[in-house]
Amino acid sequence: MFKGFYTAASGMLSQQRRTEMLSNNISNANTPGYKADQSSLRSFPKMFLSSLGSNQVPVERKLSLPVNQYIGSLSAGVYMQEAAPDFSQGNVTVTDQNTDLALQDMNVPVSRDNGRKSATFFTVSNANGEVRYTRNGGFTLDAAGYLTSSSGNYVLDDQGKPIQLTSEDFKVEEDGTISENNRRIARLGIVLADNPFRLVKEGDGLFRAEQGQAIGSAYNRGDVQFKLQQGAVEQSNVDESKSMTDMMTAYRSFESDQKVLQAYDKSMDKAVNEVGRIG
C-alpha cells in the first residue's frame, strides 16, 4: 500500500517540476538568444517480487523443500532528469538597431562526448569581473561608451577586454571586426564550446564553464564557420505551441497521479477506521 503512495507522489513531483520548466520556457519565448530547457522522465530501478514457500515431499520423513516463485516487477516511481538547454539556432530577426548583433552558427563540429553539435557564444564580463557566455546579442552602449549586454555586463573582445566606442555609429563585419570612422577598434570575443551541455546555466541568458575553465576562441579554426549580423538579434528557440501542448500533458498526468493518491488515501482511511471494528 505504502509503495503506491510513493509511486504516485513521485509522479506528481516529476510533473510539477516539468510544468515549472515548461512555464519558464514559455515566459522566455520572446527573450533574444534564450535556449529552451528540455528534460525527460525516467523510472527508478524496478523491484522484482517473489513469494517464499515450501513444497511437501511425499516421503516417509515428510521433508519440505523451499520454493521461490517469481511474481513480477513493481515500479518504484519516476523522476525528472536534470533540464538541459537546447542549443539549436533560433530565428534571426532584423531590428535595424545598430547595437544589436546576431550570432549565427554556419558550420560547427560535432562533440565527441555526445554526438551533438558544438555552439558559439559571445563573451561578457559580470560585475565581479568573471567571464560569462551568452547568445543574447541585444547590446547597448552605456554612459561611458562601453558595449554592454541587456543585463549590464561588459561585452568582451577577443583579448578579453571591454569594448569602448564613441557612438552607435559603428560597423561590425561578419567576422566580428568592429570599426568606427574607418578605423578598426576591436574584434568581438567569440568562443566555441565543444560540448555546450557542460555549461552551467545562470540567469539573464548567461552560461558559465564548469569549475571556471576557459573556453577556446572560435577564430582561426578550420572546422568552424559562423557570422555576425549587425542590426539583428537571434530569437528564442522556444516552440510555443509544442511547449503549451507538453504543459497540458504534464498537467493531466499530475491530475491522474493526484487521483491515484487520493484513492490510496481513502483505502488507508477505511483500513484504519473500519476494518476490524468491533460492533
Same structural domain, 264 and 217: no
How many other CB atoms are there within 10 angstroms of residue 132's CB atom?
24
**Chain segment 102-129, per-residue pLDDT in tens:** 999 998 888 777 778 899 999 999 988 8
pLDDT for the residue 29: 93
Same structural domain, 10 and 53: yes
Residue 21 corresponds to which cell in the numbers above?
A: 520548466
**Chain segment 130-143, per-residue pLDDT in tens:** 999 999 999 999 99
Say if pTM beats, i.e. exceeds, 0.85: no
Could you tell me if 239 and 91 are in contact, meaning their C-beta atoms sit under 8 angstroms apart? no
Please tell me which residue, 213 or 220, carries the higher pLDDT value: 220
Judge whether 149 lies within some domain. yes
What is the rounded distance in angstroms from the CA atom of residue 62 to the CA atom of residue 172? 94
Nearest to 19 by CA among 243, 190, 238, 268: 243
- Longest Cα–Cα distance of the chain, Å, equals 110
pLDDT for the residue 151: 86
Same structural domain, 113 and 147: yes
Alpha helical stretches, state H, the chain: 2-27, 240-273
Residues 6+ apart with CB under 8 A from 113: 194, 195, 197, 198
Same structural domain, 170 and 219: yes
| Domain encompassing residue 66 | 2-29+41-80+247-273
- Domains: count for the chain: 2
Q: Where are the beta strands (DSSP E) in 10-109?
A: 37-38, 41-43, 47-57, 63-74, 78-80, 84-85, 92-94, 101-107
Total residues found in the chain within this entry: 279
Residues 6+ apart with CB under 8 A from 82: 39
Calculate the dihedral angle through the C-alpha atoms of 229, 230, 231, 236, rounding to the nearest 10 degrees: 40
**Chain segment 172-216, per-residue pLDDT in tens:** 999 999 999 889 999 999 999 988 988 998 888 899 998 777 889
Residue with cell 482511511: 269
pLDDT for the residue 279: 52
Same structural domain, 146 and 55: no
Confidence of residue 83 (pLDDT cuts 50, 70, 90): confident
Could you tell me if 15 and 253 are in contact, meaning their C-beta atoms sit under 8 angstroms apart? yes
Confidence of residue 35 (pLDDT cuts 50, 70, 90): very high
